[in-house]
Amino acid sequence: MTEPRFLPELFAMEGLYVEPPVIDVDAWQQHLIREFGPTDAIPSAGGHFGFPEALMDFEDRKGVPAQAIVIAADKELDPAEYETAVQQSWDFAGAADAVARARHTLLASEFMARLLPYPDRLRLFRALGTGLVELTRPVALYSRAAGALYDPQHWLEIQRSGYEYYGLFNVRSFNVEGTADDAVMDTLGLGIFGVPDLQCHFRNLDRDEVASLLYNIGIYLMQNGDVIESGHTIQGLFEGSKWRCNHEESLIAPDREVVDICPDPPHAAGNRG
């Protein structure tokens, strides 16, 4: 069996709070039963849960149940750790204020669950995120994988509307110093699903349109896997345009392998095209 190019990364969602949050294990167990399925509470310092019907096979063990943890941080929140996320949180106008007010954090994370089928992981992500909002009332949600903060009620409303992709990955935008019109846009967070992030280095294109393109391709990869190879092309922003894809090292931190999507001239930037 061929080893996959990208292994799924860990999913975790963090709640930010003004006052220390309380972990009600019974309430969390009932929430996870409703949102995900049969759930066992495992004694621990925080909330530790097992899912006896969500089983995975590892090389050395078969039938291992997926798990999740809910745990409070042992130190106060450092606002400096969220500065970049505030800048890239496009639909949360109150992100900076929420971070400034918050002092405490609570982490809800999958545990030994990365081999679950894609639909099951999506349900688990949604169950953990909605649990944070409904059971602990944070002033902000933070995804380290996506590098973004989210308004908790807005996040919950979108999840409850049935749209399951919101908050799983982010599209970021950066100006290129020393140029008038060059920009780099990329995704962050697709590694959760064992697929590469995307980037596009361009000039004189509508950033909202580029963001929509990257977002739609990101969802396609989440659903279909790591299927874009170097040399493949995708439909660009203009009728008949074919933008070339290559696996490259990312231009923007964190360092990682990404699928670089190169626009047709004259929109290709950085000596690409």
pLDDT band at 178 (very low <50, low <70, confident <90, very high): confident
Do 245 and 110 fall into the same domain?
A: no
Residue 103 maps to a domain: yes
48 and 180: one domain? no
On whether both 226 and 249 belong to a single domain, the answer is yes
143 and 18 in one domain? yes
Q: Which of 121, 141, 160 is the last residue of a domain?
A: 160
Residues 156, 215, single domain; the answer is no
The structure tokens listed for 26 are: 């019974």
- One domain for residues 192 and 242: yes
Would 7 be classed as within a structural domain? no
Same domain, 102 and 60: yes
Tell me if 1 is assigned to some domain. no
Across 248-273, average pLDDT:
89
Range of the domain at 201: 170-262
Tell me, yes or no, whether 151 and 180 share the same domain: no
Q: What is the band of 1 on the pLDDT scale with cuts at 50, 70, 90?
A: very low
**Which of 138, 160, 182 is at the close of a domain?**
160
Number of domains in the chain: 2
Q: Which tens digits make up the pLDDT trace of 54-85?
A: 998 888 889 999 999 999 998 999 999 999 99
- Answer yes or no: do 152 and 180 share one domain: no
Both 105 and 67 in a single domain? yes
Prediction pTM value: 0.89
Domain boundary among the residues 160, 195, 212 is at 160
pLDDT (mean) for 254-264: 95
Residues 185 and 155 in one domain: no
CA angle 197, 120, 113 (to 5 degrees): 75
Question: Is the residue at 153 inside a domain?
Answer: yes
Residues 113 and 246 in one domain: no
